[in-house]
Structure formats: structure tokens, C-alpha cells
Amino acid sequence: MQIKRILLPVDLSKITPFVTCRGKFLAKTFNAKIILLHVLETVPDNEIPTEISSIFKSYIEEALKGRIADMEDIEKELKEEGIEYEIVGEAGKPYEEIVKASVKYDADIVVIGSSHRIKRIILGSTAEKVVRYSPKPVWVCRDRTCHSIKSILVPVDFSEFSEEAMKWGLYLARVFDSKLTVLHIVKPIIRSPTYIRLLKEKKLSLREIAHLEMDKFLLKFDLTEIKYTTKILMGEPHKKITQLAKKEQFDLIVMGTHGRSGISHLILGSVTEKVLENACCDVLAVKPLKKEEK
């Protein structure tokens, strides 16, 4: 696990300075190269009339050159701060081109922005789709201060899907020397056979069972020199995650994009999307590794 190549898509909107700031912060922290990407949104090729296709293509090429030229201030910052970089431009649907670029340039992480004001429209059209379809971890910038990462929240459901998020949380906690909080949320209504059996056999409360499962989950990881705490909360997962992140002023939430409905009935996939929409801090969304990658 390492961060050596960062894909940094920018749309030259008002949030670009904040996204660029986070990308530079990560690049300097990990001594990583930035792939600075701008995507010019266009209609699919098959929707362009044949008789104007060559003219349209020339127009797109010129427009893309202009957009790349508009990134000269960002390029200047990268040069002045001694960050290795490469500038690329693509035309097409933004989220599709970002996902393809993450693979083409072998990025270790994608750093992308989202809007606070229009949650579903902006996030749903770009960042959320990148999170959903990218095989790479996606760092969604929600915070506008771009400060250091001193505290990390990792929500888990004890499944193999949240193990990868936990690994990333530990990796970043070591690099940033951050405090790590591992969070598990139990829904009030539980239909899991595991919980029902333990409730009947051991006469334990839902919270007590969750603490036992948390202890078992943490045994899988090396927690040496990690400043960590655990929390068990009851309620609606995405609400509890965002409320806790705001209350305790976490700098980063690290969570999986997939989950299971087993032990706690916590389906991390849908929860992650809701957290992305409502979080007050940055969110790192992590995909589970394929079997051949483990």
C-alpha cells in the first residue's frame, strides 16, 4: 500500500483551489507525482452527425488546448513547490474519463472535489459516480481549509469489505501520526442470525455483542504505535457517522464502498453515498480488493 501517483481532476470551478491544495498536500507528504487532468465534457461520438464530425473534432481539440492553458496558475504552483506533475486533457463524460485515466496512469488514489451547496446534482453527476465506478481509492474533498489530517474516523461493519478501509485508515494514521477512531453502528432492529443466536444463548445486549465483534475484528490488524479508540453507537448509520464526524471535528472519514447486511445490517455501499453527500470533512472511499490483488 502506497501513494506514488495521484490523479487530480480539476474542472476550473470555484472548488478547484481547494482540491488542488489537498492534492499538493498529499503529493508532498508521500513524495508522489500528480497527474493533473481536465475533462472537457462533450456528447458521445455516435451522436455527432458524420458531415460535421471532423469540424467538431477540431473544435474540441482547440477548446481542450485552451482549457489546459487555463491551468497555467496550477502548473506554476506545482513547479514552485517542487512537485512532479504531468498535465493531460480528455474529452467525454467527466466521470468516465476520470475512471479511465485512473487506470491508464496507474494512479494509487484519485483526489476529487464536491459541492456543499448542491449535494445531489454536483456530487451525483461526477464525484459520486467516480467513487462508484473507479477501481482506485477516491479522496473526496469536502473540507475547504485543507489543513493537516490529525484525526481519522473509520466506520466498519466487521466484514471483509471494511477490512480494506481499515488498512487504509491505519496506513494514513501512521503517515500523518493521526488519532484513529474505529466506529461500528448497530441498528436498533436486528435480523442477523448471529445476533439473534448470541442474544438467546449468551443473554447479551446488542451493544455488548458489538463490542465482542469489534475486539475480534481488531485482532486482524497490527495496531502497534497507533493512537486509536473504538466506538459503538446505536442508530441510523449514515446519520451517526456524519454527526460524530462533525461533533468531534474529524479531518477524514475512511470507509468502504461495499458492505454486507449481516452482523449489523450495515450496508456500507448505500451508507457511503449518503456520507459523501452530508460529511463536513474529507472522505476517502475505498474499494475492496479483488482476490488476485490480495
155 and 270 share one domain: yes
How confident is the model at residue 116, as a pLDDT? 52
192 and 95 share one domain: no
The count of other CB atoms within 10 Å of the CB of residue 179 is: 18
Structure confidence at residue 123 as a pLDDT band (50, 70, 90): very low
Residue 126 domain-assigned?
yes
Element (H, E) at 39: strand 33-41
Task: Choose one of 141, 164, 196: the last residue of a domain.
Answer: 141
The count of other CB atoms within 10 Å of the CB of residue 280 is: 15
CB 238 within 8 A of CB 268: no
119 and 176 share one domain: no
Q: Which range among 24-28, 32-36, 267-271 shows the weakest confidence by mean pLDDT?
A: 267-271
Q: At a CB cut-off of 8 Å and minimum separation 6, what does 279 contact?
A: 142, 241, 242, 245, 253
* 39: β partners: 90
Tally of structural domains, the chain: 2
222 and 255 share one domain: yes
- Give me the chain's average pLDDT, please: 85
Most trustworthy range by pLDDT among 178-182, 207-211, 286-290: 178-182
Residue 146 domain-assigned?
no
Tens-place pLDDT, residues 135-176: 999 999 987 788 899 999 999 988 888 899 999 999 999 999
264 and 212 share one domain: yes
% the chain with pLDDT above 90 = 52
Structure confidence at residue 191 as a pLDDT band (50, 70, 90): low
Q: Which range among 119-128, 199-208, 240-249, 277-286 shows the weakest confidence by mean pLDDT?
A: 119-128
Residue 255 domain-assigned?
yes
% the chain with pLDDT above 70 = 81
HSE-up of 161 (CA within 13 Å, CB side)? 18
108 and 241 share one domain: no
Residue 98 domain-assigned?
yes
Residue 75 domain-assigned?
yes
CB 70 within 8 A of CB 40: no
131 and 182 share one domain: no
Task: Choose one of 141, 175, 190: the last residue of a domain.
Answer: 141
Backbone angles phi, psi at 139, to 5 degrees: -95, 110
How confident is the model at residue 62, as a pLDDT? 87
Which alpha helices (H) appear in 35-118, and where do they start and end? 53-69, 72-80, 94-104
Structure confidence at residue 208 as a pLDDT band (50, 70, 90): confident
Residue 10 domain-assigned?
yes
Q: Residue 65: which domain range?
A: 5-141
How confident is the model at residue 26, as a pLDDT? 97
Structure confidence at residue 25 as a pLDDT band (50, 70, 90): very high
Task: Choose one of 122, 141, 160: the last residue of a domain.
Answer: 141
Tens-place pLDDT, residues 32-79: 999 999 998 886 666 666 766 677 678 788 888 888 898 999 999 999
95 and 195 share one domain: no
Q: Which three cell numbers stand for residue 171?
A: 496506513
Measured CA to CA, the distance from residue 9 to residue 268 in angstroms comes to 25
CATH number at residue 97: 3.40.50.620
Long-range contacts of 58-67 (CB under 8 A, 24+ apart): 60/91, 64/38, 64/40, 64/89, 64/90, 64/91, 65/89, 67/12, 67/38, 67/40
123 and 209 share one domain: no
How confident is the model at residue 118, as a pLDDT? 43
133 and 23 share one domain: yes
210 and 260 share one domain: yes
Phi-psi region of 48 (alpha: psi -120 to 50; beta: other; left: phi over 0): beta
133 and 163 share one domain: no
Element (H, E) at 8: strand 5-9
